[in-house]
Structure 1
């Protein structure tokens, strides 16, 4: 587990590549669906062109909505009809199987590698169109167009912005003969498709963190033999070392406006949280305590952070303003609560909670202090909220292998992302990445 390892590393110390196509996409599996998900019809999109369609747009949209846990797309084989035009929709046929909303659309080849994608969302009960858009895209943008359709449908029907057209960063480790042979910082679509290598090294890489504009990733690298923090431009692949203090340089976290970076440093003999101005490289020390202080995550106002500290005798979550003042403890349930991340609206934190020997992902309402355990463990770690705050992605272990898990914030929906390599330490991108 990353946060258990982080405390161990700190205790001991107190003491590149451009975008490259990866070998295989992650496979996503829904391990638990929500009871009472709303039926919806996502009719296979009509294809106008030669041969097979380059992407199954309707299939991608159906998968997206199913993964949200709020919708239950009707399988194509069980649809009462498969209309491609509004005039062909038989509202009564859909109503008979309990479907109140139907999406139809089409994909058309325009030549020269360009495609047109259109869709319409209909309310079969009210007999009216709710949405209708047309996009133009290259072949490499078709999955993105499908995710955009999912976002629009999701928002129209729920009132909440979707997070399907986003990305995840994570660490991939290649294991050969029982030993780790290579570490890679990866970026993929939220569903694990189109994985790209950001940076690769035979030495450990960890803690990828997104800038709020989605253009940069900060991470920790041992490529030189000791931990340093790097900032990498995802468009140009330019990589810049931003912290090379003696001891540990770890746990980077961008401020909400992207101008500052929180980090954990141990150059003075113990782990403290600092904030760096990325323009001037000036450091400000935020915590002043002889205990371990690490894993900063920003509140949305950019004025305070939550972090992990064992100043009370065991790892717990605290909150502290950047400008000064005492830290306030947030977690009291159990002897281990660590690695907090803050929801986009600042109303919740997700973190690692130990109960009965298992490390699980828990969520706390900061207004009420109420905590809910979302996962089963036994080795869950590194939670990260989706940009709409509806889901949490995290590291877990299944069958002795590191994989990624996704859980809804109410705990009703669970998914697993796995691939041929070990994957861990996920970070969900902001919008616009």
Structure 2
């Protein structure tokens, strides 16, 4: 949740949690489905042969299918259909190279799964450069029935990085807020965490009052978020392993928009304890609070640069919301966004080169990215109400919230805008997405 409520005019104001809650409905534990709505015409061909399994009982997870789905939804790969395969080798020694060269497959992934006793498995995989007839990767991953899917994500990460040179993010997780609605006055808000592909969602915090603005700690062990459980906005953190919660900020007025620093030692927030909302930084060890901005306008939605030296935030000092940057130690702010009359909700890319934001375009709110070196500004989405951008930890995709058919959904778009996905609950709405770091606490 942003402390800024977007409207069709170029003004913004703070709203109560009651107004925010009106946009949610549906079941908190419904299944997430991913749909690829736009693919890249530059996707790399790859053959992923179904992994061999000679056990008597079916495995709980089709590992090669998960790998295939991961790579295809990245938009960087187009997998050969199984029915088009001329053979299905399970190891390099069984490959007829001409079969795959005939199909013009530059890369080939083969594998097999072996039982190692007592409910344990070994997942053996090999990735080959077909044209050169050379092995690129060869690993044997230990797994259990419970971890087979996680192992599949690891395989996809390795293949992705080997071929693209960019670290894969399939083993990461996402956080989001869903709401179960029984009546207009009877809702249950849930902060949930799921795998990056939407699998295995679980509720970590449940409340009868709104939960907003989840943000990951760099070690992936905690989520900070805004809660209205005590009838005002307060900032809490929850340990994802133990479920233990602690209040981080509960001053009179607004406590919102938490954001962990890259080293996890500080938490930036928007607080109105001195009057107008300003940006503050909380030292997580000493609990000392430092005010960063001092103005007569609304200053909110802080976001850290990748090196931790700069805070980007939304300010209304010009009469409409724009992105500003200020030293994390305080100082004179510098305006960053100049394109159009509305830019808010900044999110810096992990490499520090790009800044994502919500941009108003002809009355619609869309996700845009600004290259901080070249100043190139690109609008990536075309929805009427896109918000809350969050970068994947490898910087290749942006997760965001949007509307589809009057229903809240999550969506993702590649940094070049070529690949688009939707993540929908089978029932209800979802909002407030946050993509985990690589070190995601699993």
1:410 equivalent in structure 2: 416
Contact 1:171 1:206 in 2 (8 A): yes
2:23 equivalent in structure 1: none
Q: Compute the displacement of 1:322 (Å).
A: 2.0
2:5 equivalent in structure 1: 5
Distance 1:180 1:122, change over 3 A: farther
- In 1, Cα distance between the equivalents of 2:307 and 2:29? 40
Structure 1 segment 334-349 matched on structure 2, within 5 A:
334-349=340-355
SS in 2 for 1:425: strand
Contact 1:359 1:381 in 2 (8 A): yes
- In 1, Cα distance between the equivalents of 2:170 and 2:150? 9
Contact 1:3 1:382 in 2 (8 A): no
Which residue of the other structure, out of 269, 277, 280, is the alignment partner of 2:283? 277
Q: Compute the displacement of 1:2 (Å).
A: 4.4
- Of residues 80-89 and 268-277 in structure 1, the stretch that sits farther from structure 2 once superposed is 80-89
TM-score by length of 2: 0.93
Which residue of the other structure, out of 93, 101, 106, is the alignment partner of 1:95? 101
Q: Compute the displacement of 1:177 (Å).
A: 4.5
Number of corresponding residues: 425
1:428 equivalent in structure 2: 435
Which residue of the other structure, out of 159, 168, 174, is the alignment partner of 1:168? 174
Gaps of 5+ in 1: 14-21
Contact 2:29 2:203 in 1 (8 A): no
Contact 1:32 1:413 in 2 (8 A): yes
TM-score by length of 1: 0.95
SS in 2 for 1:5: coil
Contact 2:59 2:145 in 1 (8 A): no
Q: Compute the displacement of 1:202 (Å).
A: 1.2
Corresponding position: 1:37 with 2:43: yes
Q: Compute the displacement of 1:271 (Å).
A: 0.6
Contact 1:3 1:381 in 2 (8 A): no
Moved over 4 A (4+): 1-4, 6-9, 177-180
Q: Compute the displacement of 1:377 (Å).
A: 1.4
Contact 1:358 1:378 in 2 (8 A): yes
Q: Compute the displacement of 1:179 (Å).
A: 6.3
Contact 2:154 2:170 in 1 (8 A): yes
SS in 2 for 1:115: strand
> Deviations 1:335-378 (Å, cap 9, x if unpaired)?
11000000001111101000011100000000111110000010
Corresponding position: 1:388 with 2:401: no
Structure 1 segment 19-34 matched on structure 2, within 5 A:
23-34=29-40
SS in 1 for 2:5: helix
Structure 1 segment 105-120 matched on structure 2, within 5 A:
105-120=111-126
